[in-house]
Structure 1
Amino acid sequence: MLPEVASAAADCQSLRLANGEGQILPEAPKPAGRRGLKVGQCYLTPTGVAAQLVGKADGYLMMRSLATDTRFTLPVACPLKPADAKDVDTRFQPTSSSPSEPRVPSRREQPLAPIIDAMLLAGGKTMRGIVRELQRKASAACHGRDLRANVRARLYWLRRRGRSAGCDSKGRICVQ
């Protein structure tokens, strides 16, 4: 690779956002120097970003990204390719903050805490028995959840509220 091409490529790789340094004034569409770049036309940067040429100043080209609408500068020596319709869609299409389709409501109709609390306070069940009964009673609400962790969390909060919890000799959870 030729040294001047390598240095131009290195300059192009270091894109910097415009922070208001220098005064960049938009110009009427006319050739920008000997390269024939026109203000208002769309180009592809060496990294493949579709951008519109907004202006030029102090040896830099002021560009506006068509994808994110941010402004950045490139050195004049940076190679730009014209953006053809077959290469890239040059229209600015901002993404919507809201989804285009309505969200599907969650299928977790009932919370698990009251069911777990009732089984813990009734007593006489092991952890495995509580999880099995929970899957049977609230199968739709259990989908994708760690049921053992939910039972442990309910035991923790019952202890925090002054209840005593433990296991008997047969491994059944007892809450008083």
Structure 2
Amino acid sequence: ASAKWCATETDANGHYIGGKWGHCNDACFAEESKAGEEEEVAQVTYSKVGAGVSCGEESYRSKDSPEQCQEWCTQNEDCKAFVTFEDSPCDSCLAFTDNDCSMEYQKASNCTGQISAYKKILPPEKKKGMRKEECTATFTYKNCKDGQDDRDITVGFSAAFEGYPLTYTIEQLGGD
């Protein structure tokens, strides 16, 4: 892996001066990563995938309210889906770890009442140590190969990321 570096000196316009750079030490990035991890916790969401159905063999059964049932599924890493039963003589919460309650697992429920099936939607995976960040850099290159061309070219690079994936743009800002 290559070491991270940054400009140690810039010109009056904030542009990097060639050769004026240094390596950042690992301790700096360790603290930055730690702070970024605490900054934001991605939220689990749910999509309603059925009504009046159950989804096979449940892993959890209770008389929990719909909100408690959802919370149980959120807190249980293995939970993939849950079904709630309101105004029903049946248990009010079933949760599933073997399937996500997609169409192939759904069967008409024998219970009465308002029955709703929900699939857990996990947030996009974040890379460890990454945090929401925007970076912009502008570089001016001396474009004179063998003395034939003395124009300077200014290139801008900007990147924004919050976890994965990284999006970036590169554009030529100007030239003499």
Q: TM over 0.5, yes or no?
A: no
Which structure: larger Rg? 1
TM-score by length of 1: 0.21
Higher relative contact order (CA 8 A, sep 6+): 2
TM-score by length of 2: 0.21
Bigger fraction of residues in strand: 2
